[in-house]
């Protein structure tokens, strides 16, 4: 029996891996529209229903009657009320590219990392017991089976099943949670897996319920009578707990890190909220429908003293219905695993973004452009954070001994996490909320929670002695942990919720009222509160042109080179320029910061940009915009400012063009003298030697041959120069005939490398060619394309000035284009020459290697004819050229 | 950032959408009120309220709220208003 169970379990886990893997693949290939359906979103919300609710709800009902319903009523109310809070929360989360609840608060309150770290700490403390609870539920359900199968008892002890589960979950989460540092922090594989698990657990619970009502009790009517006869679940109608718990579960629904992850971060489309607004309440209603019948029947059927938390399992087992028992086990298993996966993922994002990254950033201060591969650091930080969080959960589980004490921790945990609520709501709805207010509110709430609920929850004499609980510290009765201010008679849980919330909100509001927010806080506050109006960001940055390249280097290392290059190029296009380096306008910096925030969180992204650009400059105008008081003047001055910006930009462009023209003219003059020189030198020797030959007499045959070959060589050089000129003029006039064939460009590159190396004699450059993909085929003119490749490789050989020159060629296919990069390790082309190198006769600097400066101009013309483009790629640590070619010439 | 004068009258369809949104806003408030009723039931140790009727009451309310939410959402999607106008429209004028 137990062996079968383990087998089923493994199969199930394997199926989950496959589902997750398949979802990731579909998402990667841009297929799988269903991945983005509102149903998947709704189902993913069901991680709210953990093993604590799957098993525990029945136990809860058996102990305290209908009160268990409050745990579901709260979230239902939040979903019904999506228009009030969730709509706003999701929009803010998407526009600010929020990665976690800590990130939301830090972003709202001036990108403060202190606040983010504080929320992270709170979340870790609040979630660890909860993860422990899930591990406990899995081990308990294993042992429930073992009770009916004594032979297998030795096979599984509590501890090793918990550790196996913890390891398995860590593996799954690391595999699918940190595969790609998605800019949006979305994890299709994980979301799909938990959606499947949502169906499994709902189906399992309903199956058990149907079995209990129609299989054991004999129908609906009989069930109602049985329920009414059972004294165990009588309606006590305890008002304060009913209110308190409904509020608590509603608040927890918004504040739990894992809920925030699925509600806001993984949200694909705001419209999904509309479906979820009724579908999610339906889901939790079905989850709670059969809880009371199962509890009542369990009480009647099973011997006294059996654990009501396991009725869902032990009823089918005692009735000998093994299939149902296995199904129910899978349901509990699903609930536990999906919760742990998402919770550890959410916590790991928080820990790595708000604890690890800032520390790391501090160590590498002022060296933004020398960062190592930041992506690797982030991924590593995430992975180790996942392992760390799960390890903490396991540690808590084994320390607490997995006893009854753990079962009551669920609500304790909720109360801790909801300390974020006042600051979050204040941040969303009140522009006057400040960072100091938020920090003080959370700290006060946290302290009250620890003092009134968390520490006492360990039981008497473990942390607080009984006399301490009854008489207060040092006999100060008004500080009794469960009767603050001497107000006695409150339920301990309600007492803690009430006081922590009141004191938290009070200090949040009070400190907010008496402090003054910093400019960034005010800007962010306006953006959060008026999220549906201020769709454009207020500006906080002012950069200098020279910093673009540094920014690009940094972005490449965070969001990946391809994404960064696309971002920069699109921005450059939008600004009306070419190439990869846009002007660092405030708008662009703002956008860049948000893109980076999607990977590393708002605070870190802000700090990283600040390292390069320097401090934030918030102008008086920006503050006036925030104040929103002098809208008329603002608008006028805004327009003036826009115009003056526009003028400045145009002037800058004109200046650039002028400079370019001047340089071109100088170059043209230089070329004329150069070309005269180039033509003159061979001419002179041809003339001289042909005169000698003319006078012929007295020359030996050897000498004759030597002179003739010199004449021939010089004539060849002349011809080559003239050929190049002719070639260029033909290309420029568009009279060229292309000989289009289907070829493998990789083969062309190989051949080009061979040609250059054969022709050079002393080939001192190391050439590496990285073909990343399988065969690419391309319709193009092979001869012309080879000419370009040869030219680029020969250039690298000629101009690369590194100690050990090295050229790295890479080629890959992106959609219907081919991208080939030629990157050497020399000093590259200086910034001011980058736009000139493709011009005719352009030669950078006073260069040793002779050449008429036609090569790159010819390359550009050829690539242009082939329908692609060639450009200089800055920020690669050397001279770098990129060719983009369409697969088929249109 | 531009402040437009709020219109006094709206086109009929926009008006309808606004009222639908009002209805959506009211659903959770209604739920809160209705779900509070069970705790107002008098606690009498000798004659406790039958648990099954309280339970059925709560579930019926649940189903009604779900149905209301479903119908309202369906109605509002059928008005063809764009999502963004839906999202930002409600705060400027009524």
Minimal CA separation from B12 to chain A, in Å: 22
Q: Is A238 on the interface with B (CB under 8 A)?
A: yes
Mean per-residue pLDDT, A108-132: 87
The tokens describing B32, both together, are 């809160």
Q: Output the pLDDT for position B1.
A: 42
Q: What are phi and psi of A303, to 5 degrees?
A: -65, 155
pLDDT tier at A181 (50, 70, 90 boundaries)? low
- Check B51 against A91: CB less than 8 A apart: no
Q: In chain A, whose CA is at the least distance from the CA of B30?
A: A77
Q: State whether residue A625 sits within 8 Å of chain B by CB.
A: yes
**Which residues of chain B are within 8 Å of residue A65 when distances are taken between CB atoms?**
51
Question: What pLDDT score was predicted for residue B44?
Answer: 56
On average, the pLDDT of chain A sits at: 78
**A620 pLDDT more than 50:** no
- Partners of A90 on chain B (C-beta within 8 Å) are none
- CB nearest to B28's CB, from A81, A235, A628: A81
Q: Tokens 């979301």 correspond to what residue?
A: A191
Residue among A91, A228, A233 minimizing CB distance to B87: A91
CA dihedral A198, A202, A207, A210 (to 10 degrees): -170
Q: What is the mean pLDDT of residues A466-477?
A: 66
Asked if B48 and A634 come within 8 Å (Cβ–Cβ), the reply is no
Phi, psi angles (nearest 5°) of residue A883: -110, 130
Is the backbone of residue A305 left (phi > 0), alpha (psi -120 to 50) or beta?
A: left
* pLDDT, position A629: 46
CB atoms A81 and B58 under 8 Å: no
Confirm or reject contact between A627 and chain B (CB < 8 A): no
**A478-487: per-residue pLDDT in tens?**
667 776 676 6
Cα three-residue angle A177-A179-A182, rounded to 5 degrees: 85
pLDDT tens for A646-676 read 888 888 889 888 888 888 888 778 777 767 7
CB distance A441 to A508 below 8 Å: yes
Residue B22 touches chain A, beta carbons under 8 Å: no
Residues 6+ apart with CB under 8 A from A31: none
Question: Of the given ranges (A522-526, A762-766, A813-817), which has the lowest mean pLDDT?
Answer: A762-766
**Of the candidates A197, A138, A195, A201, which has an alpha carbon nearest to the alpha carbon of residue A168?**
A138
pLDDT digits (tens, 9 = 90+) for A443-454: 999 999 988 888
d(CA A342, CA A169): 10
Please report the residues numbered 252 through 311 in chain A whose beta carbons come closer than 8 angstroms to any beta carbon of chain B.
270-271, 274-275, 277-278, 281-282, 285, 289, 292
Residues of B in contact with A224 (CB under 8 A): 52
Closest by Cα among A250, A252, A306, A260 to A281: A250
Q: What is the longest distance spanned by two Cα atoms in chain A?
A: 136
Can you tell me the distance from the alpha carbon of A573 to that of A558, in angstroms, rounded to the nearest whole number? 22
**Mean pLDDT in residue range A796-804:** 80
pLDDT tens-digit readout, A379-415: 888 888 888 888 888 888 877 765 565 557 778 888 8
- Give backbone dihedrals phi and psi of A295, rounded to 5 degrees, phi first: -65, -45
Q: B69 contacts in A (CB within 8 Å)?
A: 80, 277-278, 281
B21–chain A Cβ distance below 8 A for any pair:
yes
B residues 37..56 contacting A (CB < 8 A): 38-41, 43, 48-52, 54-55
Distances in Å between the Cα of A709 and the Cα atoms of A516, A691, A704, A718 are: 87, 14, 9, 14
A534-543, A629-638, A669-678, A804-813: range with lowest mean pLDDT: A534-543
| Separation of alpha carbons A126 and A416, rounded Å | 6
Strands A483-484 and A741-743: unpaired
Q: How far apart are CA A598 and CA A184, in angstroms?
A: 5
Q: A109 φ, ψ to 5°?
A: -100, 65
CB contact under 8 A, B58 and A66: yes
Helices A631-694 and A620-627 meet at what angle, rounded to 10? 140
Is a pLDDT exceeding 80 seen at residue A203?
yes
Are A242 and B65 in contact (CB < 8 Å)? no
From the list A80, A238, A534, which residue is nearest B28 (CB)?
A80
Q: Give the pLDDT of residue A848.
A: 46
Which pLDDT does position B29 carry in this prediction?
Answer: 92
Q: How many beta-carbon pairs under 8 angstroms link A with B? A: 110
Residue A785 makes CB contacts below 8 A (sequence gap 6+) with A743, A745, A748, A862, A866, A885
Count each helix (H run) and each strand (E run) in chain B, helices first. 3, 0
Confidence at residue A316, expressed as pLDDT on a 0 to 100 scale: 85
A820 forms bridges with which residues in the sheet?
A811, A883
Do the chains contact at A239 and B52, CB–CB below 8 Å? no
The answer to whether A246 contacts chain B (CB < 8 Å) is yes
- A869-872 sheet: strands from edge to edge: A766-771, A806-814, A817-824, A880-886, A869-872
| Lookup: tokens for A197 | 């698990």
């Amino acid at each position: 029996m137990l062996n079968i169970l383990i087998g089923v379990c493994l199969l199930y886990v394997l199926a989950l891996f496959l589902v997750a893997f398949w979802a990731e693949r579909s998402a990667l290939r841009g297929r799988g529209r269903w991945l983005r359906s509102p149903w998947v979103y709704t189902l993913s919300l069901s991680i709210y229903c953990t093993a604590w609710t799957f098993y525990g709800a029945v136990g809860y009902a058996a102990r305290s009657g209908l009160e268990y319903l409050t745990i579901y009523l709260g979230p239902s109310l939040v979903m019904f009320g999506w228009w009030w809070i969730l709509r706003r929360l999701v929009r803010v989360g998407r526009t600010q590219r929020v990665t976690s609840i800590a990130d939301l608060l830090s972003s709202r309150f001036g990108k403060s990392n202190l606040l983010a770290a504080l929320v992270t700490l709170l979340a870790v403390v609040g979630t660890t017991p909860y993860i422990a609870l899930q591990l406990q539920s899995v081990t308990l359900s294993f042992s429930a089976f073992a009770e009916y199968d004594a032979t297998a008892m030795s096979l599984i002890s509590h501890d090793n099943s918990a550790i196996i589960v913890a390891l398995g979950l860590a593996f799954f989460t690391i595999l699918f949670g940190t595969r790609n540092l998605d800019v949006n922090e979305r994890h299709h594989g994980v979301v799909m897996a938990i959606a499947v698990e949502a169906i499994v657990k709902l189906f399992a619970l309903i199956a058990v319920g149907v079995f209990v009502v129609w299989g054991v009790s004999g129908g609906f009517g009989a069930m109602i009578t049985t329920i009414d006869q059972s004294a165990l679940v009588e309606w006590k109608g305890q008002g304060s707990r009913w209110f308190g718990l409904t509020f608590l579960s509603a608040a927890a629904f918004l504040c739990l890190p894992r809920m925030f992850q699925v509600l806001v971060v993984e949200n694909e489309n705001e419209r999904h909220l509309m479906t979820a607004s009724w579908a999610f309440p339906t889901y939790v209603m079905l989850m709670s429908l059969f809880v009371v019948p199962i509890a009542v029947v369990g009480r009647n059927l099973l011997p006294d003293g059996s654990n009501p938390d396991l009725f869902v399992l032990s009823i089918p087992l005692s009735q000998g219905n093994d299939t149902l028992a296995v199904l129910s086990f899978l349901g509990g298993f699903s609930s536990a695993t999906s919760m742990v996966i998402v919770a550890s993922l959410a916590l790991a994002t928080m820990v790595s973004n708000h604890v690890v990254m800032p520390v790391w950033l501090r160590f590498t201060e002022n060296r933004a452009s020398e960062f190592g591969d930041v992506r690797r650091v982030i991924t590593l930080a995430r992975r180790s954070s996942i392992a760390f969080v799960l390890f903490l959960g396991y540690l808590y589980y084994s320390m607490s001994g997995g006893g009854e004490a753990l079962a009551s921790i669920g609500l304790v945990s909720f109360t801790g996490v909801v300390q974020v609520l006042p600051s979050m709501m204040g941040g969303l709805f009140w522009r006057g909320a400040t960072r100091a207010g938020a920090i003080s509110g959370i700290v006060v709430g946290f302290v009250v929670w620890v003092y009134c609920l968390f520490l006492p929850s360990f039981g008497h004499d473990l942390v607080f002695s009984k006399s301490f609980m009854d008489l207060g510290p040092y006999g100060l009765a008004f500080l009794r942990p469960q009767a603050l201010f001497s107000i006695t008679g409150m339920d301990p849980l309600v007492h803690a919720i009430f006081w922590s919330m009141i004191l938290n909100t009070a200090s949040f509001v009070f400190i907010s009222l008496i402090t003054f927010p910093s400019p960034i806080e005010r800007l962010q506050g306006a953006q959060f509160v008026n999220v549906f109006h201020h769709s454009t960001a207020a500006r906080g940055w002012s950069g200098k042109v020279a910093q673009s390249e540094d920014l690009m280097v940094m972005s490449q290392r965070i969001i990946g080179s391809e994404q960064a290059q696309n971002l920069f190029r699109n921005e450059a296009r939008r600004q009306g320029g070419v190439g990869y380096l846009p002007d660092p306008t405030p708008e662009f910096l703002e956008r860049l910061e948000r893109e980076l925030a999607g990977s590393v969180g708002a605070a870190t992204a802000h700090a990283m940009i600040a390292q390069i650009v320097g401090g934030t400059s918030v102008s008086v105008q920006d503050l006036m915009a925030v104040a929103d008081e002098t809208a008329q003047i603002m608008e006028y001055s805004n327009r003036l400012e826009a115009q003056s910006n526009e003028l400045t930009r145009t002037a800058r462009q004109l200046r650039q063009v002028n400079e370019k023209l001047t340089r071109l003219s100088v170059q043209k003059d230089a070329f004329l003298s150069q070309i005269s020189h180039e033509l003159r030198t061979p001419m002179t020797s041809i003339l001289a030697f042909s005169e000698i030959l003319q006078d012929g007499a007295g020359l030996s045959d050897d000498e004759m041959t030597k002179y003739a070959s010199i004449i021939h060589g010089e004539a060849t050089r002349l011809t080559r120069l003239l050929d190049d000129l002719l070639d260029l003029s033909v290309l420029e006039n568009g009279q060229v005939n292309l000989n289009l064939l289907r070829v493998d460009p990789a083969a062309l590159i190989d051949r080009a490398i061979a040609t250059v190396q054969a022709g050079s004699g002393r080939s001192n450059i190391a050439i590496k060619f990285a073909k990343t993909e399988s065969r690419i085929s391309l319709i193009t003119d092979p001869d012309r394309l080879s000419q370009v490749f040869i030219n680029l490789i020969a250039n690298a050989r000629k101009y690369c000035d590194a100690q050990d020159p090295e050229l790295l060629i890479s080629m890959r296919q992106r959609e219907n284009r081919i991208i080939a990069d030629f990157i050497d390790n020399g000093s590259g082309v200086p910034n001011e020459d980058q736009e000139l190198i493709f011009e005719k006769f352009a030669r950078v600097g006073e260069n040793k290697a002779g050449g008429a400066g036609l090569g790159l101009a010819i390359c550009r013309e050829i690539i242009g004819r082939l329908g692609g483009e060639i450009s200089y790629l800055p920020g690669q640590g050397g001279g770098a050229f990129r060719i983009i070619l369409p697969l088929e010439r249109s | 950032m531009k402040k437009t004068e709020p219109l006094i009258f709206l086109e009929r369809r926009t008006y309808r959408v606004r009222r639908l949104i009002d209805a959506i806003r009211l659903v959770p408030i209604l739920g809160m009120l209705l779900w509070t009723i069970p705790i107002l039931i008098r606690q009498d140790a000798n004659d406790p309220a039958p648990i099954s009727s309280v339970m059925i009451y709560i579930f019926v309310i649940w189903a009604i709220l779900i149905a209301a939410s479903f119908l309202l959402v369906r109605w509002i999607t059928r008005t063809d208003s764009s999502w963004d106008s839906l999202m930002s429209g409600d705060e400027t004028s009524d």
